[in-house]
Homo-oligomer: A and B are copies of this chain.
Amino acid sequence: MLNCGLTDLRLVRPRDGWPNARATSAATGAAEVVRSARLFDSSAEAVADVEHVYATTARVRDMRKPAVTPAAAAVEIRQNAARGERSALLFGPERTGLDNDDVALAAKVLHVPLNPSFSSLNLAQAVLLVAYEWYRAGEGDGPASSATPTERGRAATSAQLQNFFAHLEQELDASGFLRVRHKRAVMLRNLRNLFHRASLREHEVRALHGILAALTGRRKDGAPTRRARHRSGGS
């Protein structure tokens, strides 16, 4: 619950009594949610002050009620809240789920669409998925958002890229890599595309120049690098 920003926990006749040390210890970091849980004698009392009740079910039963997915419920619940109306998500006991009297409290049943041949979730997982959808529906940037990579430094300019491509081409010519005449143009184009796709930063272009110089033992102007001079002096 707290992972998804939910804190109002209401319990109906907890099997093992309340407070419950195991529940508190299992709630590491979220113990406040457990501590502030309210107890009720019946599901009806637990949801008495709530305008919209959703009954979660593992299977869509013949309940003559509209069934919604967690995603659809999440949108509705946020719309309800915008009108000042509260919503409750009703979950049943681990093994048996909600009984018919519980489900009868709800205007809609909430069903998590999962692998039809293996759809049973444990209670914690069911709560997580439903709460997650609620949280997600409130994230302004919508469901499919992916953060744009925050690359360090400035993006390389086109001129900087072209300068690197020229350096690469010069060294590939010198090395013989482009010796097959009829493949030369397409090979260079493919290489440029590869580096374009990487959205290079300025500092990366500088590093790539340095790599070309280091691998060939030559500065860009054709003069030997310090290392290359040292090397040839030593041999």
Seen from chain A, the residues whose Cβ lies within 8 Å of a Cβ on chain B are 2-5, 29-30, 60, 64-69, 71-73, 75, 111, 113-115, 118-121, 124-125, 128-129, 132, 135-136, 139, 141-149, 151-152, 171-172, 175-177, 187, 190-191, 194-195, 197-200, 204, 207, 210-212, 214-217, 227
Q: Which residues of B contact A124 (CB under 8 A)?
A: 125
Smallest beta-carbon distance A191→chain B, Å: 7
Q: Which B residues touch A30, using CB under 8 A?
A: 118
Complex Cα gap A4–B119 (Å): 8
Q: A121-B3, A215-B216 are in contact. Are A175 and B227 (CB under 8 A)?
A: yes
Report Cα–Cα, A76/B190, bound state, in Å.
23
The residues of B that contact A132 with a CB separation of less than 8 Å are 114, 129, 132
Q: Report whether A147 and B3 are in contact in the complex, using a CB–CB cutoff of 8 Å.
A: no
Closest CB pairs A-B (n = 10): A143-B144, A177-B214, A72-B146, A175-B214, A66-B149, A68-B146, A198-B198, A215-B215, A176-B227, A5-B115
A147 touches B68 (CB 8 A): yes
A143-B69 Cα distance, complex, nearest whole Å: 8
- Residue in chain B with minimal CB distance to A152: B64
Inter-chain CA distance A144–B129, complex, in Å, is 14
Q: Are A198 and B194 in contact (CB under 8 A)?
A: yes
A212 and B215 contact, CB distance less than 8 A: yes
Contacts of A121 on B, CB cut-off 8 Å?
3
Given A2-B118, A3-B115: A71 and B214 within 8 A (CB)? no
Question: Which chain B positions have C-beta within 8 A of A129?
Answer: 128-129, 132
- Minimal beta-carbon separation of A138 from chain B (angstroms): 10
Find out whether the CB atom of A114 lies under 8 angstroms from the CB atom of B3.
Answer: yes
User: Are A144 and B144 closer than 8 Å at their CB atoms?
Assistant: yes
